[in-house]
Structure 1
Amino acid sequence: MIKIEILEKYGAFRRLYKKSEIIFEKDKLATHYYQIISGSVKMNNFNDEGREFIQGFFTVNQCFGEPPLFLERTYPANAEVVEEAELMCVSKANFLQLMAENPEVSIIMIENLAQRLHYKSVMAAEISTQDSEHRLLQLFDYSITYFNFKKENNGFHIDLTRQQMGDLTGLRVETVIRTIKTLEKKGELKIINRKVYR
């Protein structure tokens, strides 16, 4: 993402957030650019029944919540800390100045936004039309790239809880568990010590 020294040149400051702490809430006006130094963050929404839908996970060297900075819009989702996180924060005005004065950073940001838009488009199509097996396999395959999952001896470890898998695909946890077992039997993935590998 954006180099730390460039962020610091435009007034970035570091801030520590505890697990489960809310960084910003849905419908609040966007005020800062956020980039992760350590830890992880999720963006989520809740339906009328209180069920969580996860928009995405963000980890080291990724940014989140920046689209509203360009649109004069409020946040479409909440940002919540998954693992204690240290973030670089830059005010909206300074961030927009940084973008205007550094075309190479603008290109990086455009690529990042395009990647996210592609992910959302793929997952929206999967959620609306495909069965549970297809949804989960698509999530796993895309997540290996998008969430930067690392390859281990058993394959790529899908570092998501069953609940998170459900929240990302619109499936119930029970359906996720049942589907994972079916996919293991079909040889599409491995389950070792309750961890899922693709």
Structure 2
Amino acid sequence: MINEEELFSFGADLKTYGPDDLIFSEGEVPCFFFLISKGKIKLNNYNEGGKEFIQGIFSRGQSVGLSSLFTEKAYPVNAVAVEGSEIIRLSKAQYFQFLKQHPEKYFTIIQCLSEHMHYKFLMMQSMAFQKPAQKLLTLMTYLKDHHHDKSEDVIQILLTRQQLASLTGLSVETVIRVIKSMEKEGILKIQNRKIFY
């Protein structure tokens, strides 16, 4: 999205997070632009019963919490490291100064936010109308369509059963049952517990 060295030249720092470390929490006021340099970050919420709902999982080169910087509103989600991660952090004031000096970066921001909205619309439609198998297919098709190497006919779904459940609002048991059924139908393959679609 943005060259890391450009961010460092504006005073950014590099923060290291371990698995399950909190980057920011729901209700917190945005103070930084975050760019993932290494690892994976999930955006999540919890319902009253403590069940996690994952809003999205992001990796190297992607930003988290970007829309909240522009709305002047508190974060509506938590950002949590899925694995050991490194994040470049630039203060909000410096980030806006960076954009003033590099207005061409606004197009990249619009692309990023539009992609995130597209994903949200797909998943909202999936949640509202579709059966469990269709919810999983919607998610896996999205991941396949946005895979960096479009020449591959089959990709490995790099998400756990728990993450698939949390992303689709299903229980883990339902995800396991539906994936087995999809394998029997030839929709996907399971090799060494890994899902290929």
Find the aligned partners of 1:110 and 1:70 in 2 and give their Cα distance: 12
Specify the SS of the correspondent of 2:84: strand
Matches within 5 A, 1:63-74: 63-74=63-74
> 2:155 matched to which residue of 1?
156
* CA drift at 1:153: 8.5
2:79 is the alignment partner of 1:83: no
The verdict on how the C-alpha distance between 1:164 and 1:19 changes in structure 2, with shifts beyond 3 A counting, is: same
Report matched runs for 1:8-157 at 5 Å: 8-146=8-146, 148=147, 155-157=154-156
**Does the Cα contact within 8 Å between 1:44 and 1:53 map onto a contact in 2?**
yes
1:93-112 deviations in Å (ceiling 9; x for gaps): 11112122212211001100
Judge conservation of contact 1:34–1:65 (CA < 8 Å) in 2.
yes
> Do the aligned partners of 1:149 and 1:157 also contact (CA within 8 Å) in 2?
no
Whichever residue aligns with residue 73 of structure 2, its letter is: R
Q: Secondary structure of 2:75's match? A: coil
Pair 1:7-2:29 in alignment: no
Helix, strand or coil at the partner of 2:68:
helix
Alignment partners' CA distance in 1, 2:149 and 2:101? 35
Q: 1:95 is matched by which residue type in structure 2? A: Y
Are 2:191 and 1:192 aligned? Answer: yes
What TM-score do the two structures reach when normalised by structure 2? 0.95
Counterpart of 1:165 in structure 2 is 164
Q: Which residue identity is paired with 2:33?
A: Y
Give aligned pairs, total. Answer: 197
SS in 2 for 1:155: coil
In 2, Cα distance between equivalents of 1:150 and 1:84: 24
Q: Distance in 2 between matches of 1:149 and 1:175?
A: 29
Question: Aligned AA for 2:14?
Answer: R
Identity %: 40
Greater Cα offset, 11-20 or 107-116: 11-20
The TM-score with structure 1 as length reference comes to 0.95
Which runs of 4 or more aligned residues in structure 1 lie more than 6 Å from their structure 2 counterparts after TM superposition? 149-154
Q: Does the aligned pair in 2 maintain the 1:15–1:88 contact within 8 Å? A: yes
- Report the Cα distance in structure 1 between the residues aligned to 2:61 and 2:112, rounded to whole angstroms: 12
